[in-house]
Amino acid sequence: MVKISSFDDWIQYFREWQKDIGYDPALLGNYNFETKLGELHSAEIEFGDFKGQRKWERVGQIPNQSIRDALMNLIVYQGDTEFASVEQQRNLLDTAPTEYDRQALVRVNSEEMRHGWQMCYLLVNYFGDSGKLEARKLLERRAFRGDRLLGSFNAPVNNWLDFFTYTEFVDRDGKYQLTMLSHSAFAPLAESVTAMLKEEFFHMFTGHTGLTRILRAGKIPVAIVQKYFNKWLSTAYDLFGTDHSSSANWAYVWGLKGRFDEDEAKVPAEKDRLNDLARDHYIAECAKLIDQLNALVPQGQPRLYAPDLKFNRSIGEHVGKTYGVTGELLSADAYKKHVTQVLPTVEDEQLLSEIIKSKDWVAQMQMKS
């Protein structure tokens, strides 16, 4: 078993992880893995029971072990998503539709690796032996074995429609999570995710422009695009956590994770609805993006839409329920058939593989002069 005694030890293990998942470091060119820190929103804790005190620079300054454990858990979960996304996307480089897309994927993967690197830097350097253990474990779970911590990051990303939809919707959830953590009372975490946020915007840009180009080309049926929306949006809803979450409540009370709109919020936090309200912001943003994409859907074609919040949920009050993609409650048998009609199937993937053999299945990227 590998022992992590220092961050240099962890870096060596990171290199082994790259090899193990089949990601050739040469593909990354001269990309420099380093820790980056952004600016704090405030030097003082912005909300919760410790509001107005100086933000904590060291774990030893945190008042009690329960808060320290919750903080480390937030960092572990964030880091897990970063490494998982690279594992999910690692096999797409050889099928990139253009050199621009290949380079965009390399950049996305490089930055996701660096974000995981950043979280492990915090774990190794601030959380003692338990942090070193968690940093090691982040490099031992695998998305393709299905043992990453969140279900969304075990789902397969098999093609470029998958990838563009994933970066449009799942990476957009990442923006929300990072924004909420950027207000953290633990200054090293807040500074870390502020820097990560700046890089995350390119990932979302890649997804939205990719879907735009697919619709402009008009080769992939809109009905198939919709199935991938159903796949990734329904799992993205889960990433906000359970409704009425006590964990989110305590994270706010302790100052560890704020609201998405913490800077602009004028009213006291509804601490029992923090996850719900963040998800509501996300749904509203996605609705606007889908409206933009629908402007490219030809007349007579079905309009794209977001699946109902109750559909295909893996956590929360709707888990295991047989709600359809538009929110209707179905019998168990009807739901089983419905799922095969509204989520991607093997036949859909086979059709996509034929479509993408042509060079014009996705429009060329229009670069601004």
Domains and CATH numbers, the chain: 7-28+41-306 (1.10.620.20)
Q: Write down the pLDDT at residue 272.
A: 92
Structure-token pair, residue 40: 């704090």
pLDDT score, position 359: 85
pLDDT at residue 369 greater than cutoff 70: no
Q: Rounded mean pLDDT of the chain?
A: 96
Average pLDDT value for residue range 58-67: 97
Output the pTM of the full model. Answer: 0.96
Instruction: Say which residues have a Cβ less than 8 Å from residue 212's Cβ, sequence separation at least 6.
Output: 292, 293, 296, 363
154-163, 249-258, 321-330, 352-361: least confidently modelled range: 352-361
Mean pLDDT over 316-330 rounds to 96
Confidence of residue 289 (pLDDT cuts 50, 70, 90): very high
> What is the structure's pLDDT at 133?
97
Across 94-100, average pLDDT: 95
Answer yes or no: is pLDDT of 360 > 90: yes
pLDDT mean over 67-74:
98
Per-residue pLDDT at 366 exceeds 90: no
Any idea what DSSP says for residue 301?
Answer: S
Q: Is 122 left (phi over 0), alpha (psi -120 to 50) or beta?
A: alpha
Cβ-contact 149, 116 below 8 angstroms: no
Tell me: pLDDT of 368 over 80.
no
In this prediction, residue 58 carries a pLDDT of 98
Return the pLDDT at 207: 98
pLDDT band at 367 (very low <50, low <70, confident <90, very high): low
Tokens of 201: 């915007």
| Average confidence (pLDDT) over 20-42 | 94
